[in-house]
């Protein structure tokens, strides 16, 4: 399979990339940090030489960046089998005290990035009537998230985008899945004082995403909701 992953240089995106690489699939990776993205690609090539890794830096917080990434993907002359819209960001705070502009920034990266990239490459997928799109939402897409503010609002919106897309793509045989993880250990949790044993591993999410791509054409996992065993923090 040809697998596109945004926000692939660290955290969930990197774990998902490593899982697909370990199964020998071709990767198309993107993130904003060029140096870190290149390092991730080099590491994956070293660890899983049977998997071909392509990468392209992109700032998905801008419409221009998302469209340019879509153009680059289309120029590769490969069928896009899996698109994983993982790029995102988190600004802490509540509606009443978060920094001015927080909502605009959260919507730009957490919603518009996925929206514009998906729209750019959808026509080719629709023409071939094949593919699987994942949108990495959050438990914050389902209920108010403490200190979440604009982040939670943007993730609610992303889930709305996912559900709308799911209905639209049924006639085109394109699967659409929302990933809604609770607290998952990534670099952002380092130094938080919370034990890694209290929250999930990034590999847990990667395994679930990969498994969802292995079902028969007749089956589509619509939502993947996964929380730490002891519940949300």
Q: Where are the alpha helices (DSSP H) in the chain?
A: 11-22, 34-47, 63-75, 102-107, 113-128, 149-169, 202-212
**Among residues 166, 171, 157, which one has the least CA distance to residue 133?**
166
How sure is the predictor about 199, in pLDDT bands with cuts at 50, 70 and 90? Answer: confident
Q: Is residue 9 part of a domain?
A: yes
Residue 161 lies in a domain: yes
Tens digit of each residue's pLDDT (9 = 90 or more) over 131-184: 999 999 999 999 988 889 999 999 999 999 999 999 999 999 999 999 999 988
Contacts of 87 (CB under 8 A, 6+ apart): 6, 7, 13, 30, 31, 32, 60, 109, 113, 114
Half-sphere exposure (CA, 13 Å, Cβ side) for 138?
26
Residue 161 φ/ψ, nearest 5 degrees: -60, -45
Q: pLDDT of 42-84, one tens digit each?
A: 999 999 999 999 999 999 999 999 999 999 999 997 899 999 9
DSSP 99: P
The span from the first CA to the last CA of the chain, in angstroms, equals 36
Residue 210 belongs to a domain with what CATH number? Answer: 3.40.50.720
Q: Give yes or no for residue 191 having a pLDDT over 80.
A: no
Average pLDDT over residues 192-213: 90
Between CA 53 and CA 173 the distance in angstroms is: 27
Contact 87, 56 (CB under 8 A): no
18 inside domain: yes
Contacts of 212 (CB under 8 A, 6+ apart): 132, 134, 177, 221, 224
In a domain, 171, yes or no: yes
Question: How confident is the model at residue 171, as a pLDDT?
Answer: 97
pLDDT tens digits along 91-111? 999 999 999 999 999 999 999
206 domain residue, yes or no? yes
Whether residue 193 is predicted with pLDDT greater than 90 in this model: the reply is no
Looking at the annotation, which residues are catalytic? 151
> Domain tally for the chain?
1
pLDDT, tens digit, 9 for 90 and up, residues 19-45: 999 999 999 999 999 999 999 999 999
pLDDT tens column, 116-127: 999 999 999 999
Q: Domain of 127?
A: 2-226
């Amino acid at each position: 399979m040809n697998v596109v992953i945004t926000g692939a240089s660290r955290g969930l995106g990197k774990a998902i990339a490593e899982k697909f690489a370990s199964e020998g699939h071709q990767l198309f990776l993107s993130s904003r940090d060029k140096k870190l993205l290149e390092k991730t690609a080099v590491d994956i090539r070293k660890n899983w030489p049977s998997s071909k890794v392509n990468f392209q830096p992109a700032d998905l917080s801008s419409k221009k960046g998302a469209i340019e990434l879509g153009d680059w993907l289309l120029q590769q002359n490969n069928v896009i089998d899996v698109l994983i819209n993982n790029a995102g960001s988190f600004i802490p705070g509540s509606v009443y005290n978060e920094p001015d502009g927080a909502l605009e920034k959260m919507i730009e990266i957490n919603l518009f990035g996925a929206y514009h990239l998906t729209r750019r490459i959808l026509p080719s997928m629709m023409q071939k009537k094949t593919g699987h799109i994942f949108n990495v939402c959050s438990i914050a897409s389902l209920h108010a998230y403490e200190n979440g503010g604009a982040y939670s609002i943007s993730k609610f919106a992303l889930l709305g985008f996912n559900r709308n897309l799911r209905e639209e793509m049924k006639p085109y045989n394109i699967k659409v899945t929302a990933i809604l993880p609770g607290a998952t250990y990534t670099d952002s949790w380092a130094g938080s004082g919370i034990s890694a044993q209290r929250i999930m591993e990034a590999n847990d999410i990667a395994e679930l995403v990969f498994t969802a791509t292995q079902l028969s054409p007749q089956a589509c996992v619509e939502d993947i909701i996964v929380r730490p065993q002891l519940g949300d923090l």
